[in-house]
Amino acid sequence: MVEFMKCGGCGGDMAREATICPHCGWDLSAVLSAPPPPTVMQRFREGGWRYFVYPLLIALPILGFMRLRATGPGPDLVTTLRWMAVGDGGRAAELETIHRMHEIGAAASRFMIRENEMPPFGGDWAGVLASSSTARVRGWIPLVFMGADTAMSPASVRDMYEVRATDGWNRPYRATATPLPRDLDLTTVPQVAADLDAGLHATFFTIDRPNFGEGQWMRLELESAGRDGVFDTADDLYMVSYIQVGHVFRLLYNPDEVQQQIERAYTIGRQYFRIDGSSYDLIDARLLAEYRLTSLH
């Protein structure tokens, strides 16, 4: 009895001991003598690595640039590369937190100039102050008074210049606004005296102290729970701000000069503040804020 097997070429029957198919001429001996197909590792060693390495060489700079936009540059190359690889340790969130704190104080100052009263820091206080934000009053292009519509600004600008009740980690602030008595030398109040001794900033770059002898003043304290999200721990961020309620008018002043002073105070959103708990000083924060605004968009 003859045993058959299937031809590898046409699928027809051929004797098991045969090497040539009688139907199509397929040669089994040629197949048996052919070398085995190369393995994946052999193909990789013989040049297949190019299909992985070349796209990677193209993708790495692009991915690195995208990552650098989110983390920003570190003080040295090692720090920058570590931030790009494993994250910035909350650096961007901390920056947004302290910048928004400053924006809240500036918006509160503008509100009090316009309304001649303290803003409510209960309920939706961020919604009340939103129209007094820097982006709404001065424009959303840094240092240029134009485009004064927050909805027109890129997302990175809104992150930095909108008034929000949440910090850079999207957690709510603790906000405490305290009116200060008018018939008292405020420099003798222990809390105020301690703040003056610690120093207050008139801007991110200058140190000054308020003139408590003029008008009504408010002390605003903002607190963020920081990276761990728990209040009253070592990584909390604080801002103390002293803001004048309204504007002091004096008889016999030149009306044009008074108007100019009011407009300037309203545009700037003047406050005297100090931010504690951040690992960056205020100049660093301002420069990093500008970096984020120009690098993200």
pLDDT at 19 over 80: no
- Most confidently modeled range among 79-93, 143-157, 230-244: 230-244
Cα(7)–Cα(276) distance, integer angstroms: 84
Please tell me the chain's helix, strand, coil percentages from 3-state DSSP, rounded to the nearest 5: 45, 15, 40
pTM of the complete model: 0.71
Cα(253)–Cα(261) distance, integer angstroms: 11
Q: One-letter amino acid identity for 228?
A: D
**Residues 6 or more apart from 229 whose CB is under 8 A from it?**
169, 171
- Per the prediction, the chain carries an average pLDDT of 80
- Most confidently modeled range among 31-45, 60-74, 152-166, 208-222: 208-222
Cα(107)–Cα(135) distance, integer angstroms: 10
Residue 138 token pair: 């001065």
pLDDT at 292 over 70: no
Residue 95 token pair: 């920056």
pLDDT over 90 for what percent of the chain?
29
Q: How confident is the model at residue 140 (pLDDT cuts 50, 70, 90)?
A: low
Instruction: Write 110-117 long-range contacts (CB < 8 A, 24+).
Output: 110/137, 110/266, 110/269, 112/218, 112/243, 112/244, 112/245, 112/246, 113/246, 113/247, 113/262, 113/265, 113/266, 114/266, 116/245, 116/246, 116/247, 117/245, 117/246
Residue 14 token pair: 């051929």
pLDDT at 230 over 90: yes
